[in-house]
Each structure stands twice: as structure tokens, then as C-alpha cells.
Amino acid sequence: MSCTRRPLAVLAVCVLLVAGSAGCGSSAERERGGGASPTPVGRLLEDRDDEGRPYREVGQEDAPGVGIEVQPGAADGWDVRLTLRNFRFSPAGAPAGAVAGHGLAYLYVDGRLVARLRTPGCRLPARLVPRGTHQVTARLYADDGTVWVVDGEPVESTADITASEPGPGTTPSANARRKARVRATPRSPAGGRGSPDRAGKAS
């Protein structure tokens, strides 16, 4: 499966995780923590993410930030757009080090890693967001796989989205099947938000 950028942004091909591997906007190799940084940045903490990647804490001054916006797409799927502050995506193949304000974003749905982003936009297939309420989280990582952290908290942002389906006996269009209510749960200095669906519903 693939996860593709919106036409209005720079084109990129995003490969979603299948059976726990792959990437989005990057090469398919898996980034892992523990890589040595030629010029250490920040302070490594004992805390780790759910997959064992160490936290790397930096000060509030010039700290990176991320915001997330999730909208129903024109076709099946969801459009994800990140807003970054004091942060730049590293190109694929960048050295496995921790450079201040650089790295990539990991995208999670309900706590499950689904993509690695090296661009600010991505398309999530509808199959990753079935009927019900889901959390879509973007978290910033250094190129050595460590988690950027400020005041002990990962630099991330989460949007809660609720996908609904029509009642039985109807044959709606693809867009109608994907009506959703979206609300925001900002969890980073840059904030996070969801956008109402085309019917204007929002919670």
C-alpha cells in the first residue's frame, strides 16, 4: 500500500507500515535508537517510547514543535498535515546522528506506528481509520532514532478523529461513507487540531 502526498504539496511517495515495517516519505529501512551522534545534542533520559527508543531532552529555547491537522480526503482516506516549528526534515539517508532541530516524524494511529514522515503531508488509507474514534499522533524523532523531548515530554501532537458510517440499506458515495467528526487534542507547543468534515460537523 502507499501513502501519497496531496497534489498541492511537493510530490512524495509514502509507504505505510505493513506487518510492522516500512516508511512514509523515507526509505524502507527502520530507524532505531542507539545511534551515536558525532556532536551530542541534548541529554539522554532513562525514559523510552513504547518501542524502546530513548528520550533526548533539549531546552525550551528554540525547541522543536509540531502540530497536526487531519481531514477527510477527497477520496477514501484521510489527509494529514503537519505544522513544524524550529524543525526541518532530514533527507533519506541522513547520517544516524542527533542534530538540533532536524529529524523526522513518526505517525501513529491509536498508538500503532503506521508511517515515518520526511515531508509535512501524508494520506492515510481509510482502512487504518475504521468506524469509531481514533487518535492520530505525530511525534518528532532525531535521525538516530531518539525522541525529541522538552520538559520530560515527547514533542508530539494528537488529533482525535471520529469516523462514522451510514445506516443499513443505504448505498452512499465514498465521501458520504467517510463523514466524520474531528476534534483536536493539542499536545505540543505547536498544537494539534482536527478539521470538520464537509457537512460542517465538529465536536
Quick check: 82 and 117 in contact, CB under 8 A? yes
User: 157-170 pLDDT, tens per residue?
Assistant: 999 998 876 445 43
For the four alpha carbons of 178, 181, 187 and 188, in that order, the dihedral sign comes to: positive
Q: What is the pLDDT of residues 111-159, one digit of tens each?
A: 999 999 999 999 999 999 989 999 999 999 999 999 999 999 999 999 9
pLDDT, tens digit, 9 for 90 and up, residues 47-76: 999 999 999 999 999 899 999 999 998 778
Pair 34, 24: CB distance under 8 Å:
no
Grid cell of 95 as nine digits: 547520517
